Amino acid sequence: MSHSILQLNEIRERINNIDQKILHLLGERRKISLEVAKFKINTQKPVRDIHREQVMLEKLVSDGKSQNLNALYVIKIFQTIIEDSVQHQHLFLENKANPENENAQVSVSFLGDIGSYSNLAARHYFSQKNHLLSEVQCDDFKEVIERVENGIADYGVLPLENTCTGSINEVYDQLQHTSLSIIGEITQPIEHSLLVAVDTDLERLQILYSHPQPQQQCNAFLHSLINLKYQYCSSSTEAMKEISALKSPYAAAIGNPISGELYGLKALQFNIANQKENRTRFIVVARKPIQVSPLTPAKTTLIISTAQTPGSLMDCLLILRNHGINMTKLESRPVPGNAWEEMFYLDLEKNIHSEEMKSAIKQLKEITKNIKILGCYPIER
């Protein structure tokens, strides 16, 4: 072995040793962050201190200059470390408030097969909580909910809204009738690509397999394909399985390119969504609600049905404003069997057990026909 190769191996070994020290220090930092969480429980201070984070980042950037480290590089690294620390502290608080949910393995129901966007969201959400997953595949949103209601699954994952196409009304309608509680949320990046099973080109395509939601989210691109027929599927994974079985140069599917590889597919065209920033917000449902620590920023979701009188909804919103409760989502859906009558879904940035929320709900009950609490859960970001 040449002297230069020996030198290179020695340099690489030094780098490996440094990397191991970094990992050890990151582990030590994580342990200490839990001591911070325990202290904040006693003092009832929020986990996140934005002012302290800003001061800390400024000092780290300044200190990094002496090591010839770029400011953006330092910020990117330590923002990731801070986010991990905050998430770790919130998970500690969540497990402390809900010790029965610390099971190492849980089952989760979701729409589609392995590789569907709902499946990717489920894996993303529960990986943050260090759970091993038993995955329950479902053909529609109703089945996702029923699997949890009848105890086959511990949790269900449902898409609620997309940055391109807005609310997913079918899911909202299912939430009217379930006894399940929302216990979490996760935002999943959506990468739509045009997937094929064999070598072909755009001009040869005659039929597209897709779930209606991805098709809507990609309709600007799809309109450029002449004489294309559509075959609707119950999920993106069903569309990918159909294409995989057909192995036709005239057929394509919309799906995630990484998931497509599971079915032997490849992308003919990447990133075909109408908007580059395409994300879907998913909710996680369970049979029992969870307790959210007052130190953790929380969101509460309600359904209210108001009287059919002028200004009735405005009266409800004024109650929220007067209690300083921020509303992040207002969605209306028709009441089944009652023509022209609607119920309203509200996402509110406040813990259900806070004095402000307790008072607001008491007043809302006095002026609404019906009110249903769908759940209180930690805000994702």
Secondary structure string (H, E, C) spanning 76-143: HHHHHHHHHHHHHHHHHHHHHHCHHHCCCEEEEEEEECCCCHHHHHHHHHHHCCCCEEEEEEECCHHH
Q: Which of 67, 97, 127 is the last residue before a domain boundary?
A: 97
- Residue with token string 């959506």: 190
**CATH code, domain carrying 323:** 3.30.70.260
Give pLDDT, residue 130: 75
* 206 Cβ contact partners less than 8 Å away, ≥ 6 residues apart: 227, 228, 229, 250, 251
pLDDT in tens, the chain (381 residues): 556 776 888 888 999 999 999 999 999 998 888 888 888 777 777 877 888 889 999 999 999 999 999 999 999 999 999 988 888 888 888 877 777 776 678 999 999 888 888 999 999 999 888 778 899 999 999 999 999 999 999 999 999 999 888 899 999 989 988 999 999 999 998 899 999 999 999 999 999 999 998 999 999 999 999 889 999 998 889 999 999 999 999 999 999 999 999 999 999 999 999 888 889 999 999 999 999 988 889 999 999 988 778 888 999 999 999 999 999 999 988 877 666 678 899 999 999 999 999 999 999 999 998 899 999 999 987
Q: Which of 285, 312, 347 is the last residue before a domain boundary?
A: 285
Same structural domain for residues 257 and 208? yes
Q: What are phi and psi for residue 279, nearest 5 degrees?
A: -135, 150
Give pLDDT, residue 121: 94
Structural domain contains residue 274:
no
Spatial strand order in the sheet of 251-255: 229-232, 207-210, 251-255, 193-196, 266-269
Structural domain contains residue 326:
yes
**Number of domains making up the chain:** 4
The boundaries of the domain holding residue 184 are 99-190+279-285
Same structural domain for residues 200 and 265? yes
Same structural domain for residues 107 and 144? yes
Residue 198 CA from chain centroid, whole number? 33
**Amino acid identity of 344?**
F
Same structural domain for residues 253 and 313? no
Structural domain contains residue 67:
yes
**CATH code, domain carrying 250:** 3.40.190.10
Give pLDDT, residue 122: 94
Q: Which of 239, 256, 285 is the last residue before a domain boundary?
A: 285
Same structural domain for residues 163 and 206? no
Same structural domain for residues 186 and 197? no
Contacts by 237-240, CB closer than 8 A, 24 or more apart: 237/112, 237/113, 237/114, 237/115, 237/116, 237/119, 237/263, 238/112, 238/113, 238/209, 238/211, 239/209, 239/210, 239/211, 240/115, 240/195, 240/209, 240/265
pTM of the model: 0.78
Give pLDDT, residue 194: 96
Same structural domain for residues 106 and 92? no
Structural domain contains residue 371:
yes
**CATH code, domain carrying 43:** 1.20.59.10
Same structural domain for residues 197 and 176? no
Structural domain contains residue 311:
yes
Tell me which residue of 202, 191, 208 sits closest to 258, measured CA to CA.
191
